[in-house]
Structure 1
Amino acid sequence: MASDAGSPQREPTPSSLPPMPSSIPQKRALEDVHSPAVSSPLNPEPKPQKPQVQIQDDTQVMGREKRTKKESLKKRESKGAPDSSRAKPDPKQKEPQGELAPIRYKLAHPKPTDFEVSRGPVFVSHHDVQDDEGRTIEFLETSDHVYNKKNFHYTHCIADPTFPSMFYYRNTEPPPFGAHMSFEDAASHMYFDRAGMHVTSDKGFRMCRANVAVREGRWYWECKVTRGILKKREEGDPESHGHVRVGFARREASLDAPVGFDAYSYGIRDVAGQKVHLSRPKDFFPPGEDIKEGDVIGLEIQLPSERLQRKIVSGQYNPAIDLADEESEQAPEAPNIIRDRIPIRFKAHIYFEKIDYHSTKELEELMNPSPMGSGHSSEAPNPNHPAPALRTLPNSCVKVYKNGVFMGTPWTDLLAFLPPASKQAQQTGGREALDDGTLGYYPAVSVFRGGAVEMNFGPNFWYPPSEDAEMTDGVDGPPRPEAGKLRAVSERYDEQIVEDIVYDIVDEVGFWMQDGGKVIDRSARDEKAAAPGSDEIKELVQDD
């Protein structure tokens, strides 16, 4: 067929093709197929197995740099991003190489009122009730204090001129002094007595935690049901005045749910004395044995040393060696506590705002197994589990007493809580590897529609533990004196105060050393920023 004279002539096929674009995957050379990934004496210099696929740099699009899309302020706030009005990290701060250090903030000088002694909440009488002994109990509504909220928790602080290198603020405690149920670490619509030792609610199940956490050793506390299932019923009386659950809860446990709702808490239910964990009630007390008004429930928890716990969560636990070392006498090992915190104002109070710990995917799957999960749920929690959140603590347990009578050990091998088993909320700027000193198991109580519980953290208990309790560890096997003496939770409050003082001093000295061993005024501001009436730190707005 003749070709048109005006049509272009086809170019001859070149004898050699140009090199293929690097963006197209290439076959791996034959000698790389069997190249071992790890060096060995027989293969001292293995060839690195690098894929030859080169992905185009997404920073360049069509020959120009790709623009970074910035999120709007509204979108950042919806994600829980830190408010830009908060104090900002000091740009001159240099974090020590090879170790973590607290984030340092540049703040203005404190106000004169910041040096005043911290005050507790304002109490307003809400209602009175009578217990089974005929006592009248006044429950009060608390106000003028901040509640812990999602991703954040709060502790009281005070300005102190002896801490200039940190930011002039340190931890403090308001009255009532001593171990008690925390007014800040409680769900809304919970009512307390003035000492924080009695709680109730007229709403559905909600929870509050104590102001102390246990991290190692053996600890005991007890509580009395003042409003709950009736012990003596007359004609026309209801079956109960409400319901209660008591137990232990970690920081991640939801306050808007009962104790035992998730993997972060262990609870005893008043109905049939059932044990509850992961929202799964299981029989524990003998049949027909309820927890009724007037009953006293004693709770003992045992946790191994923090040294052993750190080996477990870091994946270095060897039961053949470490358990034997646990029973031998060793000097305690100080934890590495890193506290990122910002002073916050709330109704004439000063608080430290800290990023709280959040639930992990592995424990959410443990509560609600999903067929599309990560696969960790197929292996039961154990000390050497691949997922740190699912590692358990050997020789840990919870024991329960009723009116001084030992009822049994509902739980052993409690879930680990030290990082990385616990992680701070990342979307709010948390650092998942940090232990800020607040982790541990807290005494916890939940109440339901009128149920009321009175706490006793010791040392004078209604039913003191027997002498035998000081020698047993709650785990199957013979008594072990090495398990440690059983101590009242009230003693833990004193230890916690000492720890806060030590951590404050450590932070102050650390920042002082960063400044070259001298005090530098890090709160200098320009005249505009120092204008009268300007806010030095963020004013927290929260429904009370």
Structure 2
Amino acid sequence: MEETSEVNTERGEFDYHNSAVLLMETPHQVSRNTDTFPCVSGQSETVEDLQVPVADSTVDPEKEGAVNEDNVNRTEFHESKEVYMSVGQTEDKPLKKSERRLASRRREHWSSKRRLDSGQITSTSKRVRGDISTVQKLSSDGFPIEHPFNKDGYRYTLAEPDPHASGDLEQYAGKAVPARLYRVVLPQSILLSMNDRANQLNLSDDRLSVTGDKGYCTVRATHCVSRGGWYFEVTVKDLPSGSACRIGWSQNYGNLQAPLGYDKFGYSWRSKKGTRFHQSRGKRYSSSYEAGDVLGFYIYLTEWRPCKTVILPDHHKNQTLIKFRNYLYFEERDLVEKAEKSLSPLTGSKIIFFKNGKSQGIAWEDIYDGSYYPAISLYKNASVLMNFGPEFLYPPEGLTNYRPMSDAIDQAFVEHTLADMLFHLEYDEDTAGNAVHYSRQSHKR
């Protein structure tokens, strides 16, 4: 197939199969559920920030955007007096009138810096005291309605207590809660993600349909795959004049505020002219698609990996644990530049797109190694409907080596369970080793 380059100008070795059978029958696997979730009690409805569940209740003015002025000390708020006092100020020496005015301005400034943008946090430096024994139910689909979005260089993953972690949560009431005592909440079904999306996109109640708004932006699914052949379907519900969509596969560092295929982490198929995109460059691929078409998306990721390659998901147990609207989340930085440098082609991998069951040919071969999510980018008010299987409207013709994305649910349980188990084994061994070392040193003394 002849290809012509088109520059994009639109911005806007472990045997898991045998392990799976054993793990799915164990209490460790059965204990994973999303019926209940612990929260930190005592949080009023007026709290407007992500919070870390620790005992310290101070606020760092520098991290909260405090205004620095010449010859004036930084201030802190004393709740008992309901006034701001200079650092080092005593009750016997009250603030001057000019200092009180300045403190009032600073208080308003800090308050404005902590306001949320559509439920998103602006700071994580606020500390609160918490009682972690309270239990609160999740929403019907297993994810809180109010949540932080993945943006501004940070990602958030919902957490729940890990019943297999060594240690008792009760002993940490009012103290810093170690992230190792929690684990990732795994959705019971594959849907479009509530927080791994641009907040401009509108999801349906069942989280299987999405409608765009103005410029290009992206949403990813809740589950990813890292090896084997996988397939999902998308029905184009509405594609008004002037709108467009790009659909395909994305790694977790793909830019959500840009069209899919804008960077190195995504591969997409565009409705207009049927162009395929990767790294902001489009190449002729197929005819265009329109409303009513049913599209298929196949990815094959080579099973074999070098021994040094990590193929288990991240357990997040060494990351920061924060609280938002009475739910706990793992917080991590988006290390995009580091991830880009580590990308390498995966020999034998490929992506194929289908229209109404018919293959449009191989779109890419030897794509970058990594874990890939089904992803959709919409421009203006385009609308699509997802079908993750197991039954498809148009089974892909000539394709046999694939699994529906719905199968990724069970695989995620197995992989995350293994990742958690390995962490606990290593942590317990390290703890025991340190205890023996300390005992020997004490005996020598």
* Residues in 2 aligned to 1:208 and 1:337: alpha-carbon distance in whole angstroms: 21
Please report how far the alpha carbon of residue 303 of structure 1 lies from its aligned counterpart in structure 2 after TM superposition. Answer: 1.0
Structure 1 unaligned blocks of 5 or more: 1-71, 88-107, 124-141, 230-238, 314-332, 364-386, 418-439, 471-484, 520-544
* Residues in 1 aligned to 2:313 and 2:197: alpha-carbon distance in whole angstroms: 28
Identity of aligned residues (%): 29
2:160–2:182 CA contact under 8 A, matched in 1: yes
Please report how far the alpha carbon of residue 223 of structure 1 lies from its aligned counterpart in structure 2 after TM superposition. Answer: 0.4
Structure 1 residues 517 and 209: CA distance shift in structure 2, 3 A:
same
Matched, 1:445 2:376: yes
* Residues in 2 aligned to 1:144 and 1:500: alpha-carbon distance in whole angstroms: 25
Aligned to 1:415: 368
Aligned to 2:194: 183
Aligned to 2:146: 144
Aligned to 1:157: 159
Aligned to 1:437: none
Aligned to 2:139: 119
User: Which of the two has greater strand per residue?
Assistant: 2
1:227–1:453 CA contact under 8 A, matched in 2: yes
Match of 1:398 among 346, 351, 354: 351
3-state SS of the aligned residue for 2:407?
A: helix
* Residues in 2 aligned to 1:388 and 1:156: alpha-carbon distance in whole angstroms: 26
Matched, 1:275 2:276: yes
1:110–1:168 CA contact under 8 A, matched in 2: no
* Residues in 1 aligned to 2:431 and 2:211: alpha-carbon distance in whole angstroms: 50
Task: Note the 1:28-47 alignment, pairs <5 A.
Answer: none
1:154–1:352 CA contact under 8 A, matched in 2: yes
* Residues in 2 aligned to 1:412 and 1:251: alpha-carbon distance in whole angstroms: 20
* Residues in 2 aligned to 1:243 and 1:173: alpha-carbon distance in whole angstroms: 32
Structure 1 residues 306 and 356: CA distance shift in structure 2, 3 A:
farther
Structure 1 residues 148 and 336: CA distance shift in structure 2, 3 A:
closer
1:163–1:170 CA contact under 8 A, matched in 2: no
The Cα offsets for residues 75-134 of structure 1, whole Å up to 9 and x where unpaired, read as 9999xx9955579xxxxxxxxxxxxxxxxxxxx986122x444336899xxxxxxxxxxx
Please report how far the alpha carbon of residue 160 of structure 1 lies from its aligned counterpart in structure 2 after TM superposition. Answer: 4.5
2:232–2:298 CA contact under 8 A, matched in 1: yes
Please report how far the alpha carbon of residue 360 of structure 1 lies from its aligned counterpart in structure 2 after TM superposition. Answer: 4.9
Structure 1 residues 511 and 171: CA distance shift in structure 2, 3 A:
same
Structure 1 residues 344 and 263: CA distance shift in structure 2, 3 A:
same
Match of 1:462 among 371, 389, 393: 393
Aligned to 1:66: none
The Cα offsets for residues 14-41 of structure 1, whole Å up to 9 and x where unpaired, read as xxxxxxxxxxxxxxxxxxxxxxxxxxxx
* Residues in 2 aligned to 1:360 and 1:256: alpha-carbon distance in whole angstroms: 20
Aligned to 1:221: 232
Aligned to 2:251: 250
Please report how far the alpha carbon of residue 306 of structure 1 lies from its aligned counterpart in structure 2 after TM superposition. Answer: 5.0
Structure 1 residues 338 and 496: CA distance shift in structure 2, 3 A:
closer
Please report how far the alpha carbon of residue 336 of structure 1 lies from its aligned counterpart in structure 2 after TM superposition. Answer: 8.6
* Residues in 1 aligned to 2:304 and 2:289: alpha-carbon distance in whole angstroms: 34
Amino acid corresponding to residue 150 of structure 1 in structure 2: D
Aligned to 1:514: 430
Structure 1 residues 496 and 445: CA distance shift in structure 2, 3 A:
same
* Residues in 1 aligned to 2:261 and 2:189: alpha-carbon distance in whole angstroms: 26
Aligned to 1:169: 182
3-state SS of the aligned residue for 2:205?
A: coil
* Residues in 2 aligned to 1:83 and 1:514: alpha-carbon distance in whole angstroms: 30
Structure 1 residues 162 and 116: CA distance shift in structure 2, 3 A:
farther
Please report how far the alpha carbon of residue 444 of structure 1 lies from its aligned counterpart in structure 2 after TM superposition. Answer: 0.5
Aligned pair count?
311
* Residues in 2 aligned to 1:495 and 1:110: alpha-carbon distance in whole angstroms: 34
Aligned to 1:504: 420
1:342–1:352 CA contact under 8 A, matched in 2: yes
Please report how far the alpha carbon of residue 409 of structure 1 lies from its aligned counterpart in structure 2 after TM superposition. Answer: 0.8
Aligned to 1:196: 207
Matched, 1:345 2:323: yes
Structure 1 residues 304 and 160: CA distance shift in structure 2, 3 A:
closer
Structure 2 unaligned blocks of 5 or more: 1-60, 67-112, 114-121, 168-177, 436-445
Matched, 1:486 2:402: yes
Match of 1:212 among 210, 223, 235: 223
2:183–2:315 CA contact under 8 A, matched in 1: no
Amino acid corresponding to residue 406 of structure 1 in structure 2: S
3-state SS of the aligned residue for 1:112?
A: strand
* Residues in 2 aligned to 1:403 and 1:465: alpha-carbon distance in whole angstroms: 8
Amino acid corresponding to residue 190 of structure 2 in structure 1: A
1:118–1:172 CA contact under 8 A, matched in 2: no
Structure 1 residues 448 and 358: CA distance shift in structure 2, 3 A:
same
* Residues in 2 aligned to 1:122 and 1:499: alpha-carbon distance in whole angstroms: 19
3-state SS of the aligned residue for 2:237?
A: strand
CA RMSD of aligned residues (A): 3.5
Aligned to 2:293: 295
Please report how far the alpha carbon of residue 74 of structure 1 lies from its aligned counterpart in structure 2 after TM superposition. Answer: 4.4
Aligned to 1:233: none
Amino acid corresponding to residue 279 of structure 2 in structure 1: L
The Cα offsets for residues 294-333 of structure 1, whole Å up to 9 and x where unpaired, read as 101101001112524x66x7xxxxxxxxxxxxxxxxxxx9
* Residues in 2 aligned to 1:180 and 1:336: alpha-carbon distance in whole angstroms: 19
1:200–1:450 CA contact under 8 A, matched in 2: yes
* Residues in 2 aligned to 1:360 and 1:513: alpha-carbon distance in whole angstroms: 30
3-state SS of the aligned residue for 2:375?
A: strand
Aligned to 1:359: 337
3-state SS of the aligned residue for 1:298?
A: strand
Task: Note the 1:298-313 alignment, pairs <5 A.
Answer: 298-305=296-303, 307-308=305-306
Amino acid corresponding to residue 138 of structure 2 in structure 1: S
Please report how far the alpha carbon of residue 506 of structure 1 lies from its aligned counterpart in structure 2 after TM superposition. Answer: 2.8
Structure 1 residues 116 and 497: CA distance shift in structure 2, 3 A:
farther
* Residues in 1 aligned to 2:65 and 2:299: alpha-carbon distance in whole angstroms: 41
Please report how far the alpha carbon of residue 274 of structure 1 lies from its aligned counterpart in structure 2 after TM superposition. Answer: 0.9
The Cα offsets for residues 387-419 of structure 1, whole Å up to 9 and x where unpaired, read as 643x311111100110001111111111234xx
Amino acid corresponding to residue 378 of structure 2 in structure 1: V
Bigger radius of gyration among the two: 1
Please report how far the alpha carbon of residue 515 of structure 1 lies from its aligned counterpart in structure 2 after TM superposition. Answer: 3.0
Please report how far the alpha carbon of residue 359 of structure 1 lies from its aligned counterpart in structure 2 after TM superposition. Answer: 3.4
* Residues in 2 aligned to 1:259 and 1:494: alpha-carbon distance in whole angstroms: 27
The normalised TM-score by structure 1 is 0.51
